[in-house]
Amino acid sequence: MIKFNVPPLTGYEIKYINQVITEDKKMPDDYTFIQKCSMWLEDNFKCNKVFLTSSCTHALEMAALLIDVKPEDEIIMPSFTFPSSANAFILRGAKIVFVDIRPDTLNIDEKLIEGAITQKTKAIVPVHYAGVTCEMDAIMDIASRYNLYVIEDAAQGVMSTYKGKALGTIGHIGCYSFHKTKNYTMGEGGAILINGETYINKAEIIIEKGTDRSSFLRGEIDKYSWVDVGSSYIPAEVNAAYLYAQLEKANDINNDRLNSWNLYNKLLQPLSEKGYVELPHIPTECEHNAHMYYIKCKDFDERKDLIDYLNDNGVSTVFHYIPLHSSKAGKKFSRLYGNDVNTTRESQRVLRLPMYYGLNKDDIKYVVEKINEFYKSRDT
């Protein structure tokens, strides 16, 4: 069976984990690898401050705390996303306002955002699907004119850029995921990017369980105490050690995935030209990170048949998000602005193919061969 995903392994993970556990006896109070990961992200993505977190969900929850989301505030985002994007703000009592997506990138339709704004709107949460950027210039312009926050859900966007800027560094706050399904992983983890000086001190307090412990550790105060709300958002040092081994090889991993993505795209071009499937669209201003390779089938039934056919032939594939606005919780905690023209239709067509660091070229060719067989059989 060709697996859908295999978490990356560079060869130094065990060495660094052993260093945490045995050589320096750092577990659990020393943050050496947490700091190394944070500094790597700051240096490589030109970000003011990065805090490693125990998940992207927690990074989003921190973002909601940082911008002081209150009950009845409204947060605009796409419905085609993972529940964490919404939950982080619902936990603070906010109402989610979903906006339809663009059919080309499957990202939020920036042309619809302004119409969804009310006096209660607090923030816009663009989700960079598949590591392909939303139209950030337009979104930042809208946010500036209406005095709104922009929280980038860049869970899938590590190493992607928009006009040369790393995803997650364009809005006021950015959030990354290092889940086991992502390009770089620590099993479960994330990061929050603070793009300005305003929230750094507050973020330090929140991530240290509401205390001013960071100031104490820097020698700025003689003792630390509880000063504000916070939670346990700091990841385990062993997880950070695992992640750092991959960040050191980030360019190698990125290039390997891009090679796989490009091979898929080349081999599937004939099927696209015949109108059987649609391939991903990459805007010219975006350098993506090959987080996923997906095709779009004609409809839900065709996708189901193709999934079954590939599974029977040893290829593991998955569909993706069920639109949040149509879910039980979505109906309770949100509303949809305008019409669902693209969200449900496109969500029923997307099929994600195997994609991971070290994916064999012959396996990619086999996957494409089986997709071709499937469509050829439907012609007869």
pLDDT digit string (tens) for 315-373? Answer: 999 999 999 999 999 999 999 999 999 999 999 999 999 999 999 999 999 999 999 99
The pairing of strands 95-99 and 293-296 is: unpaired
pLDDT digit string (tens) for 82-111? Answer: 999 999 999 999 999 999 999 999 999 999
Q: Provide the angle, in degrees to the nearest 10, between the axes of the packed helices 32-45 and 237-247.
A: 40
Predicted confidence at residue 30, as pLDDT, reads 64
Cα distance between residue 316 and residue 1, in whole Å = 7
Predicted confidence at residue 25, as pLDDT, reads 59
Tell how many helices (H) and how many strands (E) occur in the chain.
Answer: 14, 13
Residue with tokens 């619902």: 90
Report the predicted TM-score, pTM, of the whole model to 2 decimal places.
0.95
Neighbour-count burial of 223, counting CB atoms closer than 10 A to its CB (0-12 exposed, 13-18 middle, 19+ buried): exposed
Count of CB atoms situated within 10 Å of the CB of 355: 22
Q: What is the CATH number of domain 13-247?
A: 3.40.640.10
Contact 323, 80 (CB under 8 A): yes
For the ranges 20-29, 90-99, 133-142, the lowest mean pLDDT is seen at 20-29
- Reply yes or no on domain 250-379 having CATH 3.90.1150.10: yes
The residue length of the chain stands at 380
Predicted confidence at residue 24, as pLDDT, reads 58
Contact 146, 117 (CB under 8 A): yes
Q: What is the mean pLDDT of residues 204-219?
A: 89
Determine if the peptide bond prior to 28 is cis (ω within 30°).
Answer: yes
Give me the phi and psi of 51, to 5 degrees please.
Answer: -115, 120
Beta strands in the chain, from DSSP E residues, in sequence order: 49-53, 74-78, 95-99, 121-124, 149-153, 161-162, 165-166, 173-177, 190-194, 286-287, 293-296, 334-336, 350-353
Neighbour-count burial of 140, counting CB atoms closer than 10 A to its CB (0-12 exposed, 13-18 middle, 19+ buried): middle
Greater model confidence, 27 or 105: 105
Structure tokens at 336: 């949809």
The enclosing H or E element of 362 equals helix 361-379
| Residue 74 DSSP symbol | E
Domain segments of the chain as ranges = 13-247, 250-379
